[in-house]
Amino acid sequence: MAEDLKITAGNKELQYQSLIPQIKALIRDEPDIIANLANVSAALKEQFKFFWVGFYLVKSDELVLGPFQGPVACTRIALGRGVCGTSWKEKKTIVVPDVDAFPGHIACSSLSRSEIVIPVLKNEEVWGVLDVDSEEINKFDETDQKYLGQIVGLLSV
């Protein structure tokens, strides 16, 4: 249950290691993907206090805003556009230390300074992306990439 989420202090790796089993428990018996995406977004926001965390879902030829936590966001993103559209197109995780340096960055909020986007795949096809933004420059690293990738993998089953 969401109200049972245990927030862990300490280094980032320990925080992820504590959170992943909790996310598994949250989504294990829930067949509705929207409910699961919402709970994953909330769990990540609560644990890490990210500026914005959520999902965009592939709907025909664009990404459409899905469950998220944070301020209002861009609603639709074209394939190959911005960090999310590029991650979708290239089917790979993209870590952006400074969004102002990313060509074609879509500024849904001027407060966002760094970003990580992880594609959510099923049968080698992207059906969504996890987008996480921070108000800090250079917030995301290999640890985030590793563990957010594991979390996204839980949703691909």
Q: What is the pLDDT of residues 22-46, one digit of tens each?
A: 999 999 999 999 999 999 999 999 9
Sheet holding 114-122, edge to edge: 76-78, 62-69, 52-59, 125-134, 114-122, 94-96
β-pairing, 125-134 vs 114-122, is antiparallel
Q: What would the pLDDT profile of 43-84 be if each residue is shown by its tens digit?
A: 999 999 999 999 999 999 999 999 999 999 999 999 999 999
Question: How do residues 94-142 score in pLDDT, each as one tens digit?
Answer: 999 998 888 777 777 777 889 999 999 999 999 999 999 999 999 999 9
Tell me the two tokens of residue 155. 């949703």
Q: Got the DSSP string for 69-121?
A: ESS---SEEETTSHHHHHHHHHTS-EEES-GGGSTT---S-TT--EEEEEEEE
- Report residue 147's pLDDT band, with 50, 70 and 90 as the boundaries: very high
Question: How large is the average pLDDT for residues 84-94?
Answer: 96
Query: With bands split at pLDDT 50, 70 and 90, how would you rate the model's confidence at 3?
Result: low
Q: Candidates 3.30.70.920, 1.10.1040.10, 3.30.450.40, 3.40.980.10; correct CATH number of 2-155?
A: 3.30.450.40
What is the pTM (predicted TM-score) of this model? Answer: 0.93
According to the model, what pLDDT value does residue 2 have? Answer: 47
Please enumerate, as own/partner, the contacts of 8-12 that have beta carbons within 8 Å and a separation of 24 or more. Answer: 8/47, 12/143, 12/144
Q: Which amino acid is at 128?
A: G
Judge whether residue 4 has pLDDT over 80. Answer: no
Q: pLDDT confidence of 88, banded at 50, 70, 90? A: very high
CA separation, residue 59 to residues 4, 18, 65, 89 (Å): 33, 33, 10, 14
At 135 the three-state DSSP class reads: coil
**pLDDT value, residue 107:** 72
